Amino acid sequence: MQQINWYPGHMKKTKELIQKNLKLVDVVIELLDARVPISSRNPQIDEIVVNKPRIIVLNKSDLANPNDTNKWIKYFKKLGVNAIAINSLSGTGLDKLMSEIHSAVKEKMDERIKKGLRKRPVRAMIVGIPNVGKSSIINRLTGKKSAKTGDKPGVTRGKQWVRLKGNIELLDTPGILWPKFEDQNVGLKLAFTGSIKDEILDIETIALRLIEYLCEKYPTYMKQRYKLSNIEDDGLKNMDNIAKNRGCIISGGRIDYTRVANVVIDEFRSGKIGKITLESPDDLESTIEE
């Protein structure tokens, strides 16, 4: 499989935009995908944000394993960062996010009042890799379509300030990936969840790797969803059996690999296979330097 290495020019500009505008904000909201909290963390964000108050938001928590999500919240708390789980599509957890924003800047705002400065809106910046749901969150918080949304990465371009209820002004930024994935497993997980454009990937190979992972870690879900009588040791055999059970066959009885690949990837991303988290704090050694 080709090395996943995707860093369009607009992402370099986004990094510069975040650095330039950081001084304007009181708090940074770092948005992660609850299914892949480490793989969806841009390591450059730590370097860029430095000492600003920060809140980690685990979005798409409705698609993730709830036990693993709780483990991640505890993990980030140990690192000294508050983390909350939300579902931007239903709005679950957004009230908690609003109160966390105010808590994070309370000391700074109290200081302003003591100095006799007028009360001003809290200024927050939202950052994250592509397709983790920034636009959906903003639209939920404003109650209108302030930000473009799409199920493909790279929809938001340029920066925009959005006024939220609760006297908060939010700076939206485009999704930012990092220049290369040193661990190819990180690239694979981002491909599974849709943070890398499908157009630049070998979709059949990505689906095969996803099937291998799910058959190993979530065999019961795979058996139930795809009517598999048993899980084979060979991932390609499992892919073939899924294709046969779903009618992904072309003339001559051959497997339509593109079609079965799209079925499995779409059903994983929409949560139809089950509530699945692809990484746990327990297996961090290989994916993060603490």
Q: What are phi and psi of 55, to 5 degrees?
A: -125, 130
Copy the structure tokens of residue 191: 């491909």
Q: Please answer whether residues 75 and 281 qualify as being in contact, where contact means their C-beta atoms are separated by less than 8 angstroms.
A: yes
Is 131 annotated as contributing to ligand binding?
A: yes
Give the separation between CA 138 and CA 150, rounded to whole angstroms: 13
Q: What are phi and psi of 172, to 5 degrees?
A: -90, 145
Give the separation between CA 7 and CA 16, rounded to whole angstroms: 14
Distance of CA 23 to the CA centre of its chain: 25
DSSP helix/strand/coil, 241: helix
Is 135 annotated as contributing to ligand binding?
A: yes
123 class by beta-carbon count within 10 Å (0-12 exposed, 13-18 middle, 19+ buried): middle
Is 88 annotated as contributing to ligand binding?
A: yes
Is 132 annotated as contributing to ligand binding?
A: yes
Element (H, E) at 94: helix 94-114
Is 87 annotated as contributing to ligand binding?
A: yes
User: Distance between terminal CA atoms of the chain?
Assistant: 29
Copy the structure tokens of residue 151: 């199920």
CB atoms < 10 A from the CB of 271, how many? 14
Give the separation between CA 239 and CA 241, rounded to whole angstroms: 5
Residue carrying the six token digits 């390609």: 236
The greatest distance separating any two alpha carbons of the chain, rounded to the nearest whole angstrom, comes to 80
Q: Please answer whether residues 215 and 222 qualify as being in contact, where contact means their C-beta atoms are separated by less than 8 angstroms.
A: yes
Residues marked as binding? 59-62, 87-88, 131-136, 175
Residues marked as binding for GTP? 59-62, 87-88, 131-136, 175
